[in-house]
Amino acid sequence: MNTVQPQPPQQSQHLMSVTARPADVFVRGEGAWLWDQAGRRYLDWLQGWAVNALGHCPAVITQALQSQSTQLLTPSPALYNLPSLVLAERLCALSGFDQVFFGSTGAEANEGAIKLARKWGRTGGRAAFEIITFDNAFHGRNLATMAASGKAGWDALFPPNMPGFAKATLNDLDSVHRVLSDRTVAIMLEPVQGEAGVRPATQAFLQALRQLCDERGLLLIFDEVQTGCGRLGELFGFQYYGVKPDILTLGKGLGGGVPMSAVLAQQHCSVFEHGDQGGTYAGNPLMCAVSLAVLQELSQPDFLSQVRERGQQLQEGLLEPAQRYGLGEVRGAGLLWALELGCDNAAQVVQSCREQGLLVNAARPHCLRFMPRLNSTEQEIQAGLSILAGVMTPQRSRVTRGN
């Protein structure tokens, strides 16, 4: 008897259309590579938006999932579970923070950090609640983190906006002083603004913010959802900069491909009381087991030096077309890089790269972003750079011809 297999849909009218997607449907990932339904293979330098620290479906993650899924999935957030206890201890030991709250997404971690800062601002009879955040920042897509973000146009999307955020300009200390007031409780920023096109804070700026927070009794919060967990070539971005915040948020790479995030706090500002914070999946053992496996890999002796080496290879490879075609800046660290194109053709370059089997991101209309897996090989980086070079050549001649 013939059984007719239903054809999977190519596209769905039933998925809310919240972003433009290419028509290809992706069905399988392994390491640096993704395959679409037609069997085409792509070198993936999106890696789930800097999520898959170890690439697609690494054995350490699938083993952790298999093993933990036979033991315990979700007991209840009101009961202790072993993986979350071990992960809390490990993460605090690695980062030097005192306490942690686990969530599922970066936005949830940042919302937790905002709540923690507001709670802390009310201790000792004070009434400080305002958080200074930055133009072009990206902290997530729930209402609090959208208000904290500085993406152009976002303030007009879902009014009324959540109050309690004042905006300053990255690397401009005067702009921070201008919005500082008695209401200020914290300064919150990404050490490198990822979604803005990989725009790094300077070390001097972060040191000045640290000093300002110490002098004024404010909290310094680093959103390391994108820069944390090895992405900048150190385990945490604050270690790369040598400036320690009071509160640190992590996401993306912490789960290496599964939904996992964390708010870490130093003892003096870890002020949540029962009922202040929680979540059905907070610290569920399945995700915590995966995070433990990811951290185990990131902590291997040569892992981070390899990230730095591959990062240098990528940087040098990007500087070559940048110089040859007179493009703009190459910015970044570790394995988070951007290339300024000098004109608004990033979407075309992304499409041409995809046609040639390389997935990259247009962080801005004029800027490409690269987020390969942290355990990339020399050959993979070279392969991606070769595709990019091949794509840039006709792109640039078209631009110089003016069509």
Ligand X SMILES: Cc1ncc(COP(=O)(O)O)c(C=O)c1O
Q: How far apart are CA 281 and CA 276, in angstroms?
A: 16
- Least Å distance between CB 301 and ligand X? 28
Q: Burial letters for 375-385: b for 16+ Cβ neighbours within 10 Å, e otherwise?
A: bbeeebbebbb
Contact 274, 211 (CB under 8 A): no
Is 138 one of the catalytic residues? Answer: yes
- Tokens representing residue 183 in the block: 């209401």
Helix segments in 82-131, DSSP class H:
82-95, 106-121
Is 236 one of the catalytic residues? Answer: no
Give, for 364, the enclosing helix (H) or strand (E).
Answer: strand 361-364
Q: Which residue is nearest to ligand X (CB)?
A: 106
Closer to ligand X at the Cβ: 249 or 395?
249
Closer to ligand X at the Cβ: 167 or 183?
167
- Least Å distance between CB 353 and ligand X? 20
- Where along the sequence are the contacts to ligand X (CB under 6 A)? 49, 105-107, 110, 138-140, 190, 194-195, 223, 225-226, 251
Contact 151, 133 (CB under 8 A): no
Is 252 one of the catalytic residues? Answer: yes
- Catalytic choice (101, 252, 272, 370): 252
Query: Please, how many CA atoms are within 13 Å of residue 381, restricted to the half-sphere of its CB?
Result: 26
- Least Å distance between CB 306 and ligand X? 23
Burial label, 16 (beta-carbon count in 10 A; 0-12, 13-18, 19+)? exposed
Closer to ligand X at the Cβ: 136 or 270?
136
Closest CA to 110 of 23, 228, 240, 258: 228
- Least Å distance between CB 325 and ligand X? 29
- Beta strands 130-134 and 165-168 are parallel
- Least Å distance between CB 194 and ligand X? 5
- Least Å distance between CB 110 and ligand X? 6
Amino acid letter for position 124? G
Closer to ligand X at the Cβ: 224 or 327?
224
Closer to ligand X at the Cβ: 335 or 391?
335
Q: 378-401 and 346-355 helices cross at what angle (nearest 10)?
A: 130
Beta strands in 45-198 (DSSP E): 99-103, 130-134, 165-168, 184-189, 192-193
Quickly count: other Cβ atoms within 10 Å of residue 215's Cβ: 8
Residue with tokens 């146009």, as numbered in its chain: 153
Residue with tokens 């967990």, as numbered in its chain: 229
Closer to ligand X at the Cβ: 54 or 107?
107
- Catalytic choice (102, 223, 246, 370): 223
Q: What residues are labeled active site?
A: 138, 223, 252
